[in-house]
Amino acid sequence: MSEDRRLDVLRAIVEDYVATKEPVGSRALVERHSLGVSPATIRNDMAALEEGGYIAQPHTSAGRVPTDKGYRLFVDQLSTVKPLSSPERRAIGTFLETAQDLDDVVDRAVRLIAQLTQQVAVVQYPSLRRSALRHVELVPVGLRHLLVVLITDTGRVEQRTLELGTDLDESVVARLRTRLNVSAAGRRLSELPVALGELTDGFAPADQVLVNAVVAVVEETLAQESEERVVLAGTANLARVGSTDVRSIGPVLEALEEQVVLLRLFSEMAEDHAAVAVRIGRETQHDGLVETSFVTTGYGDEGGGSVARIGSIGPLRMDYPGTMSAVRAVARYLTRILAQ
Amino acid sequence: MSEDRRLDVLRAIVEDYVATKEPVGSRALVERHSLGVSPATIRNDMAALEEGGYIAQPHTSAGRVPTDKGYRLFVDQLSTVKPLSSPERRAIGTFLETAQDLDDVVDRAVRLIAQLTQQVAVVQYPSLRRSALRHVELVPVGLRHLLVVLITDTGRVEQRTLELGTDLDESVVARLRTRLNVSAAGRRLSELPVALGELTDGFAPADQVLVNAVVAVVEETLAQESEERVVLAGTANLARVGSTDVRSIGPVLEALEEQVVLLRLFSEMAEDHAAVAVRIGRETQHDGLVETSFVTTGYGDEGGGSVARIGSIGPLRMDYPGTMSAVRAVARYLTRILAQ
DNA sequence: GATTGGCACTCGCGTGCGGGGAGTGCTACC
DNA sequence: GGTAGCACTCCCCGCACGCGAGTGCCAATC
């Protein structure tokens, strides 16, 4: 029994099942693929594949369906990259280039992936932690409120309003602003707390309350991982006819609303930034997502600075090569755009 | 035939149908409500109500179900307000008060409504158009980029990056910053363009390029209605068992992803800011939402300034009184919090 | 005139049954 | 190892049937 052919059979099963959404039998397989052998032979191969846990039958006397393990093998070894058509590439480029600001770019990118993959697209906002601080701005608002604005080199802006116990002294604010920027300019956010610690020196004791409050806010903002926002698009694709079992979309929607879940997945998949990572079924480690797969890749690494991820969530029986190339293509354009 | 009792019957039908999710028959009606008459009498009333278009039967020999018109009458005349329990009120208050910033407040409010109503919650961000400008900040970013930050009195921050043809002159930026704030402070955004027009005077011709560019960006940002964002929560509630027909959630999700649709609805329902407005079924004027109702109210009107809406979308057979009071309660707290 | 009890009628829905078909596993053969 | 044949399993579909809920109508009653 040829080992190669067995893998061919697995590939054929995955492809047919993805295309038809129905369990695939031995006869259909030899008809649609030129395997050069008879159905009976295929049946033997299928028995072996089932033995190995790569395929399963929903019920006796039904065709075979790939298991998580089968999809995994397919993704790792059997699938070939499916390049996008050049009109598609062009559309991606122009669509992203005409965006207005960071929010707009991210929004368009995620819609684009939803559109291309016909699945749910997810994008993680550029992470504060890994990006560098470009500027800190302090803006007095009224007498007793101070707006703290942090600007990162990815163009992201974070703001916090600070309520003070005493009235503001504009000159102190100005001095603090200057010193903050001297300490902060170009630093990674993770390196900042150290630099900020020394800052209180050189201010009058009366003003140190203000200084400490501002420093605290800056640190707190940076520490706040919850600021790692994710944005979704294409949730309606979950309900498309022929998608996953319609009943199962409830848990999926719940999972998608839990930003924590998505952020955990993103971070777990971040090992190799540039590569396209895939989590299949139970590999997601989340009950609501056992019947889905998640395809992600990193974007925005140019200049070594900020890093985040973008991806697509779809049914187990998704078009893996297509999804992977769509995600990768959008991520590349996104990276290019963000580099300005 | 008593007109009053007929309305009682309609109310009972709506209440029972909402509670049981099943068409309600004449016998069940007399058993569950002390109407003091026999099923046969009820049947006569039901025939009249059907004649009037307030109820319908899914099929012959089934019970009755309210029509859009029936729900409308119920909402307008038959329902009584259902006040929230005091623990609920307290929970709302503390949950909203512990929020960090505007984004957080809005996010919590929308989750709260999703939780309370077990439906999809929608919130519209405070509108730029109607709020007043508090401060404009110009932040040089590198030599040739300028970040323009607009701060409104609702605590909202808008930013735009500006790419310049020439290098920045810090002193010109400082002067422009000052003058902008003099012109802008406390003005409504709609009144601004006039004030900005006169601003170019008093700058050297060489600097007018910069000034004009900044003014253009400010105006453009204000003009951009697309900045009216909406945020959702609780979409998973759409898929809860016993919710609407599970197949029909696809169109609903599509509609919800179209911010335009929601913004149109919000604006159409904004006539009476403080009141709770309801759109039932076809009244939404949107195909994807014919099987849903939308309950909204305004929030944030204190001081006469900014105004936006918050609401809940659920099946036609929703608990109208409960939804209405939940939406109103959250809106009130929200208004209070935003007033600081 | 409104209300009521009685009654025939209509359907939806669940159940059981049987046939057709797809697909498998096994075995004997090349 | 590959192939052909064959019995077997089980899903799915259509169908008939009966039950039950609910209605509409009518004649009787208050």
Which residues fall within 8 angstroms of residue B62, CB to CB, at 6 or more apart? Answer: B23
pLDDT for res B304? 52
Residue nearest to nucleotide C1 (CA to C1'): B1
| Closest-CA residue of chain A to B255 | A236
Count the helix, strand and coil residues of chain A and give each as a percent rounded to the nearest 5: 55, 20, 30
Q: In the 8-state DSSP scheme, what is residue A138?
A: E
Smallest Cβ–Cβ distance between B253 and the set A151, A157, A235 belongs to A235
Instruction: Label residue B168 left, alpha or beta by phi (over 0 means left) and psi (-120 to 50 means alpha).
Output: beta
Which residue type does A64 have? Answer: R
Task: Give CA torsion, residues B180, B186, B190, B192, to 10 deg.
Answer: -20
Question: How far apart (Å, rounded) are the C-alpha atoms in residues A102 and A98?
Answer: 12
- Range in A2-11, A44-53, A153-162, B104-113 the model is least confident about: A153-162
pLDDT digits (tens, 9 = 90+) for A310-323: 999 999 999 999 99
pLDDT given at position A226: 44
Q: What does A254-269 look like in DSSP terms, one character per residue?
A: HHHH-HHHHHHHHHHT
Amino acid identity, position B333: Y
Separation of alpha carbons B31 and A8, rounded Å: 66
Which residues have a Cβ under 8 Å from the Cβ of B293 and sit 6 or more positions away?
B71, B278, B279, B280, B281, B284, B313, B314, B315, B316, B318, B320
B27/D24 CA-to-C1' distance in Å: 15
More confident residue, A188 or A260: A260
C-alpha dihedral sign at B303, B304, B306, B309: positive
Query: What letter would DSSP give residue A119?
Result: S
Cβ atoms of residues A56 and A14 within 8 Å: no
Closest CA to B24 of B37, B38, B11: B11
Q: Which residues touch strand C (CB under 7 A)?
A: A 23-28, 39-40, 43, 46-47, 50, 57, 60-64; B 1-2, 5, 36-38, 40-41, 44, 59-62
CB atoms within 10 A of CB A14: 24
From A149's Cα to the closest Cα of chain B, the distance in A is 9
How far is it, in rounded angstroms, from Cα A318 to Cα A302?
30
Q: Quick: pLDDT tens for A177-222.
A: 888 878 776 677 667 766 677 777 777 777 777 788 888 877 777 6
Who has greater pLDDT, A128 or B203? B203
Q: How far apart are CA A334 and CA A25, in angstroms?
A: 42
Of the ranges A295-309, B26-40, B116-130, which is most confident?
A: B26-40
The fraction of chain A above a pLDDT of 90, given in percent, is 49
Nearest Cα to Cα of residue A338 among A159, A189, A135, A156: A156
Output the CA angle B330-B336-B339, nearest 5 degrees.
Answer: 140
CA separation for the pair A211, A206 (Å, rounded): 10
Query: Which tokens belong to A264?
Result: 């955990």
DSSP string, B228-249: --EEEE-GGGGGSTTSS-GGGH
Which residues 63 to 102 of B reach strand D, CB within 7 A? 63-64
Residues in chain A: 340
- Please state, rounded to an integer, the average pLDDT across all residues of chain A: 86
List alpha helices for B21-67, DSSP H. Answer: 26-32, 39-51
By C1' distance from the Cα of B27, the closest nucleotide is D22
Q: Which token pair is A69?
A: 């393990």
Report the alpha-carbon distance of residue A211 to residue A172 in Å, rounded.
9
Distance CA B75, CA B85 (A): 21
Cα torsion angle, A309, A310, A313, A317, sign: negative
* Among chain B residues, CA nearest to A250: B239
What's the rounded Cα separation, in Å, for the pair A8 and A48?
Answer: 13
- Angle B171-A100-A86 (CA atoms, 0-180°, nearest 5)? 135
Q: Do A141 and B160 touch (CB under 8 A)?
A: no
Taking only Cα atoms into account, the Rg of chain A, rounded to an integer number of angstroms, comes to 26
The residue of B105, B148, B157 whose CB has the most chain A CBs within 10 angstroms, and thus the best one to mutate to test that interface, is B157
A82 with A322: CB under 8 angstroms?
yes
Going by C-alpha positions, the residue among B80, B47, B58, B53 that lies closest to residue B68 is B53
What is the model's pTM? 0.82
pLDDT score of A159: 79
CB A59 under 7 Å to nucleic chain D: yes
Contact assessment for residue B167 and residue B221, using Cβ atoms and an 8 Å cutoff? no
pLDDT in tens, B38-61: 999 999 999 999 999 999 999 988
Mean pLDDT over B138-147 rounds to 78
The confidence score (pLDDT) of residue A47 equals 94
List Cα–Cα distances, B55 to A180, B7, B8, B68, B73, in angstroms. 68, 12, 13, 8, 11
Q: Which nucleotide is nearest to B63 (CA to C1')?
A: D22
Q: Distance between CA atoms of A138 and A159, rounded to whole angstroms?
A: 10
* Percent of the residues in chain B that have a pLDDT greater than 70, as a whole number: 87
Cα B180 from Cα B215, distance rounded (Å) = 9
Q: What is the pLDDT of residue A125?
A: 84
Residues 6 or more apart from A287 whose CB is under 8 A from it? A251
Based on its alpha-carbon atoms, the radius of gyration of chain B, rounded to whole angstroms, reads 26
Domains of chain B: 3-76 (1.10.10.10), 86-127+228-338 (3.30.450.40), 133-224 (3.30.390.10)
Instruction: Give the span between the Cα atoms of A1 and A275, in whole angstroms.
Output: 35
Q: What is the mean pLDDT of residues A95-110?
A: 87
Give the residue, A150 or A280, on which the prediction is more confident: A280
pLDDT value at A254 more than 70: yes
Separation between the CA of A33 and the C1’ of D9 (whole angstroms): 27
pLDDT at res. A306: 59
| A194 phi, psi to nearest 5 deg | -60, -50
Q: How many residue pairs bridge chain A and chain B with CB atoms within 8 Å of each other?
A: 78
